[in-house]
Structure 1
């Protein structure tokens, strides 16, 4: 398909597609003349992913380019390629200083992973952005005297394990490894707001069930 058709089928303006091409967020089309190129279904898929990263995820172009480089890294096995692509997504910064709260939070995080049997998470812990986010979150809970023990967090972690299985069930519905990696990244970005909104709706429902005024 030509650029105009790619724009029509994707819903992305031609000027935006040209910008993505210049910024190397979209691979070049197959050149058919000096001024025209042909595009295919891979470009449609990639445009969906780029829109998820840049428009929904509000990701800077440089960060999106780094994620896409991980998506395209065929030197990795499937597990590592999926992990590298999701790992490249922006994360909150890791702890920058070893305060007593941070040290205690690391211990809590490690014990939590041990209790769950997440040996791979324990192995990656020191360098994993998600692990650093967990440590920061646990330390913040501790500083403000909110529940932050392993027992407090364990129910959330078990639900997270179920969510991870559901995520990868969705990813496996895509046929090729390349499509699966792209879907893993896009769904990570697109489903996080869904999870947040569902949690808040569920809390409102549970609060109504527990604490509503007796109208009788």
Structure 2
């Protein structure tokens, strides 16, 4: 397809597509002559992802470029490729290592990983942004004075493992390595709000079952 058709099918203006091409967010098309290039379905798929990351998720262009660089890095195995792409997304800042709540939360999270048998996650604790996010969340909860038991957190962790199985099962239905990692990146950005919404709807449903509408 030519640029005009790519624009029409994606809903992205041609000027924006040209900008994405200049910024390295989209691979150049196959050059037909000095002024015309041809694009394919892979360009269309990637263009839609880039557009959504920038205009819906508000991910900065430089971050999108970094994420997609990891998506396309076929020198990495799938786990590292996926991890690098996800870790490049905006993350929470490093917590204060001397904060007493952070120190206790870090120990609690380490015990949690051991309890649920996430040995691979334990091996990544020094570099995984997800680990850092969990420590910050637990520390904040403790700072507010909530007594969230380790058993309850472990129960949530097991539910999230079931969600992760569904995520990767879906990811594996895609043919190429780049598409698999793209799907995981899209899931991290766009499926997590779905999970949050389902969680809140489930709370509302359970509340109505237990207590009625009075």
Same fold (TM over 0.5): yes
1:67-122 per-position Cα deviation (integer Å, ceiling 9, x unaligned): 01110111101221122111211111121332111110001100000011101110
Tell me if 1:25 matches 2:25. Answer: yes
Residue matched to 2:94: 94
Tell me if 1:176 matches 2:156. Answer: no
Unaligned runs of 5+ in 2: none
Q: How many residues align?
A: 214
1:36-185 matches, within 5 Å, as: 36-185=36-185
TM norm structure 2: 0.95
Q: Which protein has greater RCO, CA pairs closer than 8 Å, 6+ apart?
A: 1
Using the TM superposition, give the Cα deviation of residue 171 of structure 1 relative to its aligned residue in structure 2, in angstroms: 0.5
Please tell me whether the aligned partners of residues 3 and 38 of structure 1 are also in contact (alpha carbons under 8 angstroms): yes
Residue matched to 1:186: 186
Aligned equivalents of 1:200, 1:10: Cα separation in 2: 32
Structure 1 ranges of 4+ moved more than 3 A: none
> Which stretch shows the higher mean deviation, 140-149 or 112-121?
140-149
1:185-204 matches, within 5 Å, as: 185-204=185-204
Tell me if 1:208 matches 2:202. Answer: no
1:142-181 per-position Cα deviation (integer Å, ceiling 9, x unaligned): 1011133321311111111000000011101101112111
Please tell me whether the aligned partners of residues 97 and 103 of structure 2 are also in contact (alpha carbons under 8 angstroms): no
Q: Tell me, what secondary structure is at the counterpart of 1:79?
A: helix
RMSD of the TM alignment (CA)? 1.3
Q: Tell me, what secondary structure is at the counterpart of 1:35?
A: coil
Aligned equivalents of 1:196, 1:147: Cα separation in 2: 22
Please tell me whether the aligned partners of residues 112 and 154 of structure 1 are also in contact (alpha carbons under 8 angstroms): yes
